[in-house]
Amino acid sequence: MRNKETYELTVTSKLEALPLPNLEDAIWSRIEAQLDIDLPTDDGNGGNTPTPGSPSGSWWLKGTGLFILAVAIISFFTLTKSKNENGPAQGSGEIIPPHIDSIAQDKPPPDPNIRQTPKQASPIITSNNSKDPVIQVDSNSSTSLVPPPITKDSLQVVNSPPVGFTPVKDSGTTKKKSRGVKGITDSDYKIVPSKKDSS
C-alpha cells in the first residue's frame, strides 16, 4: 500500500458514495439457488424451520415417498399372489425343476408306423440294412427340398449300391390325427421300386 494522491482520495470518496442498486433480494435469490446446488443443507429446506401446512415444508415429499412405497408393496403382493395361483406350488420361493421321467411317461408311445427323425432342414440319407437309401424330408421345414441328381460317383455308401431313392415325408414328432380310411397306414404309401436297376 502507498500514500494516495489528493485526486485519488477524492475519487475514492466519491465512489464510496455511489447509490446502491436495489438488487439485494434478487442477488440473494441467485446466491441461494447456487448454494442449493453446491452446498445443499441436511434438512433439504434451506435451513428453515418447517411449519405445519407450509408449502416450503417437506411434508409433501414424505407423503409422496410413502405413497410410492405403499404402491410398491401392494404391487409386490399382487404379483406374488397371481404367481401362486397360476404356477405350481412352490415352497419359500425355491424353484423345483420338472421331473423329466414323469413327463416322458405322460407322453404317448410313438406310433411304430411313424418314422421319427430329429428336426433338421437338410435331407438325410439313411442306409441301415436295407438296400435302398431313403431320403427323409422334414415336413416342418419351410425350405423346399429338391434332391440333387444322384449318380454313382456322388454316393459313397458301401454295401448298398445306389439303385433308387424313395422319398419319405416325415410326419414329424407329433402324432397327427388319423385321416381317411382306417387300416391304411403311412407305410402303405411307401413307394418301392418293383425292379432293381439292371445297371
Partner 1 sequence: MLAVETDINLLLEGCLANHRKSQEGLYRHFYGFAMTIALRYSRDEHDAADIMSHAFVKIFKSIKSYDAQKGSLHAWIKKIIINEGLDHIKSRKRFSENVDVETIEAPEVNNAALEQMGSEEIMNIIKRLPPATHAVFILYAVEGYNHREVSERLGISEGTSKWHLSEARKTLQQQLQHLKT
51: contact with partner 1 by CB under 8 A: no
Nearer Cβ to partner 1 (23/184): 23
Taking the CA atoms of 146, 147, 151 and 154 in sequence, report the sign of the dihedral they define: positive
17: contact with partner 1 by CB under 8 A: yes
173: contact with partner 1 by CB under 8 A: no
114: contact with partner 1 by CB under 8 A: no
47: contact with partner 1 by CB under 8 A: yes
103: contact with partner 1 by CB under 8 A: no
Q: How long a stretch of residues is the chain?
A: 199
20: contact with partner 1 by CB under 8 A: yes
Size of the site for partner 1 (CB under 8 A): 35
54: contact with partner 1 by CB under 8 A: no
Task: Using CB under 8 A, pick the residue from 7, 85, 107, 189 that binds partner 1.
Answer: 7
Which residues here bind partner 1, judged by CB under 8 A?
1-2, 4-8, 10-12, 14-21, 23-24, 26-28, 30-32, 34-35, 38-39, 41-42, 46-48
